[in-house]
Amino acid sequence: MYTLPELSQEKSFESIAIMTSGGDAPGMNPAVRGVVRAALGLGINVYGIYRGYSGLIADDIHPLTSGSVSNIVQRGGTMLKSDRCLAFKDPEVRAAAAAILKRRNIGALVVIGGDGSLTGAHLLEQETGVAVIGLPGTIDNDIFGTDDTIGFDTAVNTALEAIDRIRDTATSHERHFLVEVMGRASGSIAINVGMAAGAEMILVPEQAFDVATISEELATSRRAGTGSSGIIVVAEGPEPGLTSRLAAQLKERGQDPRVCILGHIQRGGSPTGHDRVLATCMGAMAVRYLCAGYSDIMVGVKDGSIVDVPLEDVIRFRKGLEPSLLDLALQVHR
């Protein structure tokens, strides 16, 4: 469980709204439920904005009741749907969105999403004065200021379950598999999945790698009888097709790896118990922070405690891999 801060009520709201934005993440539904139930318990009306910022500017906003969020904690994805809205980068569009909220007497907005979604929330608050609270909803666990993000644990366990099955085939056919997991700029999923799966190698964007060296290591282990098969976990990286290109380059050097791209299965599925508890705590605390007078912050978790992080910091700074974890992962998987 998490240690929750003591907050006193300083502000009241007639109504608040909640949205999920960007890539979906397992645990978004428990977060929505946490917000709705906590707000209704304080006599605050709650509106759901469907399809993220696209739904906000289209005024696709509907009341949520306690019944609206019944039996959703076990469901993956998001009941509110999601979208990536390029139009919201326009200040005039943000001003129009604020006018829609004001017309509906909605005094605050809770946004669940990644760094792009939280950037939109920050700009909305700075330009229009709408109170906003962000929740880190992304499987990549790459948001500054929080040790954990909603959906990360589920994504790791989903990928791990798939790799455990792939290893059976790899062993049977004495073959190496390049298993690609999500992570364009962050190797957090790859590191955690690779360590948990006992992968022979882990390739992440934060660490340069050399194809010739990889090929030689595979050939050496095969000759020594210590590695005729195995799993190489590859973070997808910023350019599409990285894993397929790597497989082709290894084949030119005498290796014959197979490629398995896990792709969007990592986003779906029922959230783990860990993600359900994390999301529920963050959702309920978002309401408490609003009522305590906070705005323009993200609710995060640090060292087992729920904390508030200025959205300006979330946007300005980037969360990298813990250097010691990266070193350990590379050391034990050589």
Give catalytic residues, as residue numbers.
Answer: 140
Q: Can you read off the two tokens belonging to residue 237? A: 């990286």
Closest by Cα among 235, 223, 226 to 193: 235
How many Cβ atoms are within 10 Å of 124's Cβ, its own excluded? 25
Helix (H) or strand (E) holding 175: none
Give the helix ranges, DSSP H, for the chain: 28-41, 52-57, 91-103, 115-128, 152-172, 188-197, 211-224, 242-252, 273-291, 311-316, 323-332
Judged by phi (left if over 0) then psi (alpha if -120 to 50, else beta), residue 304 lies in left
Contacts of 115 (CB under 8 A, 6+ apart): 138, 142, 143, 314, 315
